[in-house]
Amino acid sequence: MMEQNKKEKDWFDSPNIVTYVIIGLLIILILASQSFAIQNRLSFGEIFRSIINHNAIYFITLIYFVLLRFKIGKKYFDYLNVLMAILYLLLSFASVFTIFQSFGLASLLNLALTVVLTLYFIYAFICNTVIGKELKISNTPLNEIKNQQYFSIICVLLALILVVDLIAATDFEGVVISLLEVMYQVLFARYIYLYKEYSDTKAKRRKESLKQEEVVEEKEEPVMEKEEKTNVEEAPKEEKTEKITEVKIEVEETKVEEGKQEEEKEEPKKPRTRKKKEEDKGDEVK
């Protein structure tokens, strides 16, 4: 049954396939934007200023996902997530300044998307780590929105961005790049969603196992208590008999002691009586 369930799993529900697709998409996106720039006969300065700036974030996320396929990436997964969170914070900071550069619907939507993505990333990956617990991120309003809601907000924002980009696109290259970007960002959001689902189900399983352990302990406790009670009930009988015998012995001992004391008491009385008799006799003689 488990194997069948695994086979029935959709590709977008499997983190393995999602990460592979993201890696493929990122490679295509970087190569396509570079080749379009060269095709359009952009100068070195323009490529350096615009294309590298555009592709830097994709290149860093590509390194992140490639590292996840290796042992080092798996071992330092939390460290990589902290770096990615810093990167996304920088991106949101940059998108704030982009609004001053060119104010418009596209830049506003981009700001909203980067801010939500950053918050979602911190909510999913940093909340359950040591730093997240020490900073008490789970008590912040971040947890007010659920995993599914975050994902749907991002999807809606991406759909709006796609519409705006497609309307503004003047050439084929622009359409291709904007489509690839939206696809990558949906998959990235899906990756975050899957991780949060995984960590939530894991936490639930832990709670359930703890509850089960408690229930088993509670079931065992009454049996133990009954056994203890029966032991306690049996014990007084034995104690009673023991006590009775002890009391009997004590009574006997006291009787013996009293008898001795009486004897001792009686013995000194005799000389006194004799003395008294002698004194009486002496008085009579006098």
**Would you say 40 or 241 has its CB closer to other proteins?**
40
**Would you say 49 or 146 has its CB closer to other proteins?**
49
The answer to whether the beta carbons of residues 226 and 155 sit under 8 Å apart is no
Tell me the C-alpha distance between 163 and 241, whole Å: 94
- According to DSSP, residue 49 is labeled I
Q: Which are the contacts of 73, defined by CB distance < 8 A and separation ≥ 6? A: 64, 66, 67, 80
How far apart are CB 203 and other proteins at their closest, in Å? 12
List residues binding other proteins (CB under 8 A).
14-16, 19, 40, 46, 49-50, 52-54, 56-57, 68, 71, 74-79, 82, 90-91, 94-95, 97-98, 100-102, 104, 106-107, 129-131, 134-135, 168, 170-171, 174, 194-195, 198, 202
**Would you say 68 or 163 has its CB closer to other proteins?**
68
**Would you say 155 or 200 has its CB closer to other proteins?**
200
**Would you say 44 or 100 has its CB closer to other proteins?**
100
Both tokens of 65, joined, read 């996902």
Tell me the C-alpha distance between 167 and 169, whole Å: 6
Q: Which are the contacts of 18, defined by CB distance < 8 A and separation ≥ 6? A: 11, 12, 187, 190, 191, 194
How far apart are CB 132 and other proteins at their closest, in Å? 9
CA 70 to chain centre: 25
**Would you say 130 or 285 has its CB closer to other proteins?**
130
Amino acid in the structure at residue 66: V
Tell me the C-alpha distance between 122 and 84, whole Å: 9
How far apart are CB 98 and other proteins at their closest, in Å? 4
Tell me the C-alpha distance between 166 and 232, whole Å: 83
**Would you say 112 or 174 has its CB closer to other proteins?**
174
Amino acid in the structure at residue 102: S
The answer to whether the beta carbons of residues 89 and 118 sit under 8 Å apart is yes
How far apart are CB 181 and other proteins at their closest, in Å? 11
Numbers of helices and strands, H then E, in the chain: 10, 0
Tell me the C-alpha distance between 264 and 203, whole Å: 84
**Would you say 130 or 223 has its CB closer to other proteins?**
130
How far apart are CB 10 and other proteins at their closest, in Å? 14
CA dihedral 194, 11, 163, 177 (to 10 degrees): 100
How far apart are CB 194 and other proteins at their closest, in Å? 8
How far apart are CB 239 and other proteins at their closest, in Å? 56
How far apart are CB 106 and other proteins at their closest, in Å? 7
